[in-house]
Amino acid sequence: MHQDDGRKQRLSLLCKKLRGDESVRSFTKKRAKELGGINFSTWSAWERGQADLSKDSLDKLVKFIGCSHEALGGYLNNFIGLEELFQPSSNNFKPNEESDFSPEVTTAWVKSLATQDKLFVATQGLQAFQEEFDKFVEARAKEKIELLLNLLSANTYPENSKIEETAIKLDLSVEDLRKLCDRHFS
């Protein structure tokens, strides 16, 4: 097999993996902006192994994948595997640069991982989400307490409109909040 044929075959596998189960037309249409001008006919030719990358399309594909030129070149020239191409490493992941963490690229990367690595990514994601969720719940609780304190800290019974407004913000029934005000101000 000629070296160019091997590059085209690896490019074809890469493009099919990035596209997933979506049709080429739908994929290129939905991601036109992210693909930076790579159109349906170009992507389709790559997938069929009928075209190689120009310098311009190489730059666009590197940006879309979120890897370095070296990493993509290493994959296309059969120095690294497809799985390694999606691995964040010191060679192809530079935190100071803007990276593409689009759902498509992230999904392709996660699918390329071994089972134990997928489990690690999932647990780390859940832990990070839990921390953010806890902060969100705490902030919402503080907001609700502040709304209730503002309502009940007045010297006089609050106006009906204020009770209704606060009940809506607290996701309480207006009647329950009126009962609370009645007890507090009696």
Q: What is the per-residue pLDDT for 109? A: 75
Q: Where are the beta strands (DSSP E) in 38-140?
A: none
| Segment 45-56, tens digit of pLDDT | 999 999 888 888
Name the DSSP letter for residue 159. P
Q: What is the mean pLDDT of the chain?
A: 85
How many whole angstroms separate alpha carbon 163 and alpha carbon 152? 10
Q: Is residue 94 pLDDT above 50, yes or no? A: no
Mean pLDDT to the nearest integer, 159-181: 93
Confidence of residue 161 (pLDDT cuts 50, 70, 90): very high
pLDDT tens per residue across span 20-51? 999 999 999 999 999 999 999 999 999 999 98
